[in-house]
Amino acid sequence: MSTTTVTKLASGLTVVTDAMPHLETASLGVWVGAGSRDEADAEHGLSHLLEHMAFKGTRRRSARAISEEIERVGGDLNAATSVEQTAYYARVLAADTGLALDIISDILTDSVFDADELEREKAVIVQEIGAVEDTPDDLVFDMFSQAAFPNQPIGRPILGTRERVSAFDRGAIGAYLDAHYVAGATVVAAAGAVKHDEIVEATERLFKPFAASPAPAASPALYTGGDARQKRRLEQAHIVFGFEGKSFRDPDAYAALVFTNALGGGMSSRLFQEIREERGLAYAIHASHWSMSDTGLFSIYAGAGGRDVAELCDVALDCLARATRDLTEEEVARARAQMKVSLFAALESSGARAEQMARQLLAHGRLIPREEVMAKIDAVDAEAARLAGRAMLSGPATIAAIGPVAKAPDPDRIARRIAGV
């Protein structure tokens, strides 16, 4: 029997809860359907800065008071920014859900964006940008997205640039909030020891300042593929190559995920066995598939010594090409089982349940029952997985590489290797 309840308020804001009576705590938060891909050029990095500034004080609470109030009841408060969404969430005892929602609404509707706090937080983000630049296995994925979607918000790093972040002022933050933090783009989600009617009543009262309007449409993504590399004096080359993947609205999205997991999602996968276990060419090797509302990215990441780069890439590309032709039912069955265990394990957490509900409502406009997800995973056989793999490999390639990367292939060589030329 379903324990979830959804209510859409007159303003357009959606409230969803999942009662888990065996728990004593609750996870709840606000998910807004706006992220880095919704930023204009002059706003690059603003979504992430806004997430940081949300905790820096309101007219009722100082920055210190926000942290002390939530921690006085043993709770914790956090936020996260992605390409398409921004989330503000808390975990508290059941009796303190009202306090947590009050604090989150306060920071989203009545923050003061103090000028001194803004300057300090901009400096912190500039340091965060530097930390990513010093972490090649993180930076290479930013480079990969930029090469795949050049000169587009969807491909830009979420953190922004030093120059853009340093230039933001309170006016820019206010304008972005007014445009994107609206009721039609917002979901309040709660799971655990929660009562739906109480969450609805509090949401109606606390989020009245959110404009009763729909979310503005993001610019459509245009995947082109490309090549981005940095030569650095590093012990390892960090390489990501791949192709356009499937949107989470695409009928073949689950087949693409199964293909990806069978290829490089675990220790029994083809890539791990061939690259690491049999040849010792890389310590880390895995495949990923990331779905967004109108596109996706399929990729393979590997870290290897400079002298092994050429062989590593050739072997990985050969594994990839063969998988589109001869992936077996046994491999697909393992991948399906791994996906289902990961899904069920994640949903044992109230925080993961709240997040999943919010993301499904923002992405699909409805909750997707677990039985439906399981059925879609189980419906993927080897032929469907192979077809999804072939479809992804039919488009232009993208590669990003950092370190001793002189022997890393360019997109044309990747395409030729995949084609067996």
Measure the N-to-C terminal CA separation of the chain; round to a whole number of Å. 55
Burial of 39 from C-beta contacts in 10 A (0-12 / 13-18 / 19+): buried
Distances (CA, A) of 245 to 176, 297, 316, 340, 391: 30, 4, 18, 21, 9
Place of tokens 């964006």: 113
CA gap 315, 281 in Å, rounded: 9
Count CB neighbours of 279 within 10 A. Answer: 13
Angle, CA of 390, 395 and 401, to the nearest 5°: 105
**Which of 110, 384, 166 minimizes the C-alpha distance to 258?**
384
Distances (CA, A) of 345 to 78, 156, 189, 289, 339: 22, 32, 20, 20, 10
**Which of 186, 202, 185, 183 minimizes the C-alpha distance to 194?**
202
To the query of whether residue 51 is one of the catalytic residues in this protein, the response is yes
Under a CB-based contact definition with an 8 Å cutoff, are residues 273 and 314 in contact? no
- For 96, the token pair is 């303190």
Indicate which residue of 39, 43, 51, 84 is catalytic. 51
Burial of 135 from C-beta contacts in 10 A (0-12 / 13-18 / 19+): exposed
Secondary element (H or E) of residue 192:
strand 186-192
Place of tokens 């920055």: 63
CA gap 341, 188 in Å, rounded: 27
Task: Give the neighbor-by-neighbor strand order of the sheet with 25-32.
Answer: 4-8, 14-19, 186-192, 25-32, 86-93, 76-81
Query: Which residues are part of the catalytic machinery?
Result: 51
